[in-house]
Structure 1
Amino acid sequence: MARAHQQPIRITTAAESRRVEQSARQRRYALAMSIRSVCFVGAVLAALGHVVWLWPILIVAALFLPYIAVVMANARNSKGDDFTLRDSPYGRPQLRDRREDEE
């Protein structure tokens, strides 16, 4: 019986299942939004406590965290099999010397 693949499948490049990947992305997004909520509450508490230097920093952090959270949530682990092993005899082709071509 002939094998369908000539090359063995590399386990290290196998992608995670879609469910596992989405779950991880949702956890990262929820964590970032939780931190954003803490920043808002901290800004209010800092303003009420007259900590003038802290509340603007927390407000700015709370404003930028949604962007960071979306970028983190949309980041995918893109494993692929488009690389060659370093010790492979089929590595990158070398450039030939022009003088060798002319001879």
Structure 2
Amino acid sequence: MAEPDAVRITTARRSAADDMRTRQRRYALSMAIRTVCFVAAVAVGPGVLRWVLVAGAVFLPLFAVVLANAGDTRDDGFTVPGGPGAPELTARDGED
């Protein structure tokens, strides 16, 4: 029986705490940019730039939430025994 390959550090996932911290920072940065867009839209005055900034302030939360919920998608090659693709046990003919 062959031994499983060692997990490479480049494919290993980050810890849950580190992943959560990264998501929180990404979300906070997006909300800071949103605040800047809103304040700049008020300060700029009428014109096309104001509407671009308002659009940024309105739609940035959508993207911020999607990015914050995007977790670490690296595959470390680890599978749970009995997970998807595992063979199932079946009853023999005449047995229930």
TM, length-normalised to structure 1: 0.67
Aligned partner of 1:9 in structure 2 is 6
* Structure 1 stretches of at least 4 aligned residues deviating more than 3 Å after TM superposition: none
1:61 Cα offset (Å): 0.7
1:1-103 equivalences in 2 (<5 Å): 6-11=3-8, 12-47=10-45, 51-82=46-77
Percent same amino acid at aligned positions?
A: 44
Aligned partner of 2:80 in structure 1 is none
1:81 Cα offset (Å): 3.7
Unpaired runs of 5+ residues, structure 2, are 78-96
Structure with the higher fraction of residues in helix conformation: 1
1:8 Cα offset (Å): 2.3
TM, length-normalised to structure 2: 0.71
Q: How many residues align?
A: 75
RMSD: 1.6
Unpaired runs of 5+ residues, structure 1, are 83-103
